[in-house]
Structure 1
Amino acid sequence: MRIRTALAALSVLALAACGDGGGSTPAAVETGPVELRMTIWSANEAHLKLFNDIAAQYKSAHPNVSVKFDPLPFESYTTTLTTQIAGGNGPDLAWVLEESAPDFVGSGALVPLENLDQPDDLTPAATKLWQSGGKLYAYPFSTSPFGMFVNTDLLKQAGQDSPADLVTAGQWTWDKAFAEGAAVNAKTGTAGIVVRDFDYKTWGNLSTVWTGWGAQAWSADGKTCGFNAPEMVDAMTALHQAVFTAKAMPGPGVAADFFTGQSAMTITQISRASLLKDAKFGWDLVPLPAGPKGKYSVVGQAGLGVLKKSKHAGTAADFLSFFTNAANSAKLAQYFPPARKSQLNAETMAKTNPLLKPAQLQSVVIDGISNGVVKPSHTGSAEIAQNVRASLDPLWKPGADVKSVLDTVCTGLKPLLAK
C-alpha cells in the first residue's frame, strides 16, 4: 500500500509539468494577504527559531506575508510530501532530499529559480543535482558531510583510544571504530556505534559506511545494481558482523540516542550539534573512519524549491530568495553548511558554530564538501526505497546469508533501474 501511494503521488509530480505556468518564472509578489507553508524535515527547536526569525524579518518588509514551517517526520518525509501534492494539499515551498532530487527536478514539479541573491557564488558541485536544462530548480541550502560524533567519556571509561588521536596517527579506520564500539558495549553496557536515522529502515544512510569499501548502490548512470558487487558484499558483511557478532552496533529494535549519552559514537551531520549544547559528557567530532579503499566523505544534500502547483508561487519564490541570500545563508550555516564559495571556510563557519572548533569544521565539513560523494539518488526514488528496504529485511538477522540477500536486492532493483 505504501508503494502504491508513493507511486500515485509521484505521478502527480510528472503531471505538474503540464500545470499552469509551464517552466516560466512565477509571477511577482502578491499584495493581498498571503500565508506560505514550507515543509521541512526538522522539528529541532533551534532550527525552527532561526527559520521563524528569518520569516519575521521578511514579514517586516512584506506585512501581508506570513510563513508557516511544517515539520514532517524524516523517515516518511518524501512519501508524506508527495502524498500531500497528490491530494491537492501541497506546500508552497519544500525541502527536497537528495534521494528524490531527480524526481522533483526532472518532473517539472518545481519552478525555476531566477532571482536568487548572488547566484554566481554557489559552487557548481552543490548545484549539480538541482539543475536541468541550464536552470536551477532548487537552492542547495544544505550541503552537509557526515561525520562521527564521539562520547570521549565513554571511550575513556572503556579504556579506548581517542578517535582524534587515531586520526592524527592515521589509524582511524572502520576496523578500529568497530573494535572500540564493541569494547564500549562489553565494558559499560552502552551502545557502541549508531548510524543516526538509519534504524534498519532508511538504508541510504548506510552509504556513510559502505562508501569506505568503494561500494555504491548503483552505477553512475543509474542503470546497474551495485548491491551484490564484491565491494558491497564485503561492506555489508562487516556491518552484519559488527551488529550480530561483535555487538559494536545496537541491533534492530534497540534505540540508543548518542545525544543523551546512550551510545559512544554516532554518524550524523553538524546540524545535530545543537543537541550537545547542554551535554553532560565530553564529546568530539571527527571524520568518518577510513575504509579498505581509504579516506572518504559522504554528503547529504537538501534543496529548497517552490512547488509549481502553489497558488502563491511568485511570493514563495521571493521569500526563497530572501531566505537564502548571503546574510541569511551565513546564519543558516550554523546548522546547514552553505553552498556559497565565499562562506565555505572554517573561519567564517566558526562564527556561527560556537560549539564546533575551526579544526573540526575544516576536517569534517570543508574537506568533506571538497572530496565527498552525495548520498544515492535516482528517479523513482520512493518505489526504489521501499523495494530495497523490504529486500534488505532478511539481512538484519543473526546468521543471514549476506550475498544471497544482496542478490535478491538486485533482482528486485533491476526492473526499477531500467525505467
Structure 2
Amino acid sequence: MSTHHTKGSVRALALLLVLLLSISALFAQGSPEPSKSQGPVALKIATWTSNPDQIALLNSFVEGFAKEKGLPITATFESIPFAEYNTKLSLELQGSNGPDLFWVLETAAPAFIESGLLAKLNDGMKAYDPEDISADALELWSKGGNVYAIPFSTSPFFILYNKDLFAKAGLKTPEQYVAEGTWNWETFRMVAKAIKDKTGIWGFQTVDGQGYDARVLHNLAPMVRSYGGDFWTDDGQVLINNDASVAAVTLFHSMVFKDASVVPPGNQSDFFAGNAAMTVGQISRVSKLNESAFAWGLAPMPAGPKGESPVIGQAAIGAHSKSKNVALASELVAYMTNKSSVAAMAGIWPPARKSVLESEAFLTSNK
C-alpha cells in the first residue's frame, strides 16, 4: 500500500506561483547574522493560524532560541487566512516588508523552492540532529541535496463522522463497513445521500469547507488516486482526464449536483457544528471536537477500485532567503523543528521526527 503526498498534483499550479515569486528574487540581498551589540532583532513570522494558543507556543520557541543565542529577539506573527495565504504571501515577498520566516503549504513547495526565496537550511540543521527527521518527510522540501523548509506537520487524512446522525438515519457506522470490507467510495456516497434524505443534514463537508477552491486537490486526491488516477505525472503530463480520474471526479460531482448530499459551494454549514455528517480530518482538527454536542468517531479514507490510497498532508516552515537576518532566521527554523519543539507541538501537528513520533508525548496526544 503506497502513501502519497499531494506534491505530484501541484506541478502545473506551481508554475503560476513561480512567476509571481521569481520577480522578488531580483531584489534585496540577505544579510549575515546580527551582532549582540545591535540591540533587539525584530523577526516577522507568517502563518495561517490565528489560534492564540498556537501563536503563544510558536513564540515560546522564539524565546527559547533567543535565550540559547544570548540575543534579544522580538517576533511579530502575521496570521494570513488560509484561503488567501499563497497569494498574499507571494505579494509580500515581492516587497521590502516580507516575513523572515513563513509557513509553506505542500501544494506551494515546488514553486517556493524554484523561486529561490527559501534559504538553504542544511547548516542551521546541523546542531539539531537532522538524521532524526524522516527522509520521506523531507523529500518534498529538498532539492539537489539541500533542504529548503522543514515540515512541522505530517498528518494523514481520515474521515471524521457524526455518530448521532448515522444512528438517526439507521445506518451502520463506517467502522462496521470497514470490518465488512465494504468501506469504499460507493458506500460513502450511499451513506451521505441516505443521511441527507432521512435527516435533512448534509452528508459530507469537504476539507475545511474549502474543497471547491483552496483545498480542491486535497478534496479530490484521495478519490482520484484510489481509483487509479492522478492529476499530473512528475514531468507535467496531464492525467486528470484519463478514465480512472474522470470516474472518481464524476462520483464526487454526482454527490454534489445529483444527490445534493454535499455541502455546496458558498454554503457555510460546518461538520464541527453538527451541520454535516462527515468530513475529512487530520489530527490537528480533532481538538475542535473536545466540546462537541454530538458523539463522533473516525475511520480510514474509503477505498476505491484500486484499493486504499492514503494521503498525507504536510506543512513546513522556511526562512526567507532575502531576509536582512537570513542566517538567524535559518537557525530559528531549525530550532523550531528540533526535538523539544516538535514534542511540544505533537498534540497539534503530527511530527516528522522519528524519535518524537515514537514518543509518549505523541502517542498520548489528542486524547
1 CA distance for matches of 2:51 and 2:228?
33
Paired letter, 1:67: A
Residue 411 of structure 1 aligns with which residue? Answer: none
Counterparts of 1:4-403 in structure 2 under 5 Å?
9-12=20-23, 14-15=25-26, 20=29, 27-28=32-33, 30-31=35-36, 32-61=39-68, 62=70, 64-113=72-121, 114-116=123-125, 117-197=128-208, 198-202=210-214, 203-205=216-218, 206-221=220-235, 223-345=236-358, 348-354=361-367
Identity %: 37
CA distance in 2, matches of 1:189, 1:53: 45
RMSD: 2.3
The structure-2 alpha-carbon separation of the partners of 1:189 and 1:163, relative to structure 1 and needing over 3 Å to count, comes to: same
Q: CA 1:296–1:13 in structure 2 vs 1: closer, same or farther (change >3 Å)?
A: farther
C-alpha distance in 2, partners of 1:153/1:349?
Answer: 29
Listed one character per residue, the Cα deviations across residues 333-363 of structure 1 (whole Å, up to 9, x for unaligned) are 2121111122224855223322xxxxxxxxx
TM-score of the aligned structures, taking structure 1 as reference length: 0.77
Residue ranges of structure 1 left out of the alignment (5+ in a row): 355-419
SS of aligned partner of 1:285: strand
1:59 CA drift (Å): 4.3
Q: Distance in 2 between matches of 1:323 and 1:309?
A: 20
Taking the aligned partners of 2:226 and 2:207, their CA distance within structure 1 comes to 17
- 215 and 189 in structure 1: CA distance in 2 versus 1, 3 angstrom threshold: same
Q: Write the letter of the residue equivalent to 1:337.
A: P
- Partner letter of residue 334 of structure 2? S
Residues 342 and 5 of structure 1, relative CA distance in 2, 3 Å threshold? closer
Do 1:106 and 1:132's aligned partners in 2 also have CA atoms closer than 8 Å?
no
| C-alpha distance after superposition, 1:128-169 (max 9, x if no partner) | 111122111111111111111111111111111111222233
Q: TM-score, normalised by structure 2?
A: 0.87
144-153 vs 247-256, which deviates more?
Answer: 247-256
| Aligned-partner Cα distance in 1 for 2:201–2:57 | 34
Q: State how far apart, in whole Å, the 2-side matches of 1:128 and 1:158 are.
A: 44
C-alpha distance in structure 2 between counterparts of 1:81 and 1:234, whole Å: 35
Query: Structure 1 pair 271/90, CA: closer, same or farther in 2 (3 Å)?
Result: same
With 341-350 and 196-205 compared, the bigger mean Cα shift is at: 341-350
Q: Which runs of 5+ in 2 are unaligned?
A: 1-13
Q: Which amino acid aligns with 2:213?
A: K
Figure out how many residues of one structure are paired with residues of the other and give that number.
Answer: 345
Q: Distance in 1 between matches of 2:109 and 2:137?
A: 12
- The 8 Å contact of residues 193 and 249 in structure 1, kept in 2 or not, is answered as yes
Conserved 8 A contact 2:357-2:363: no
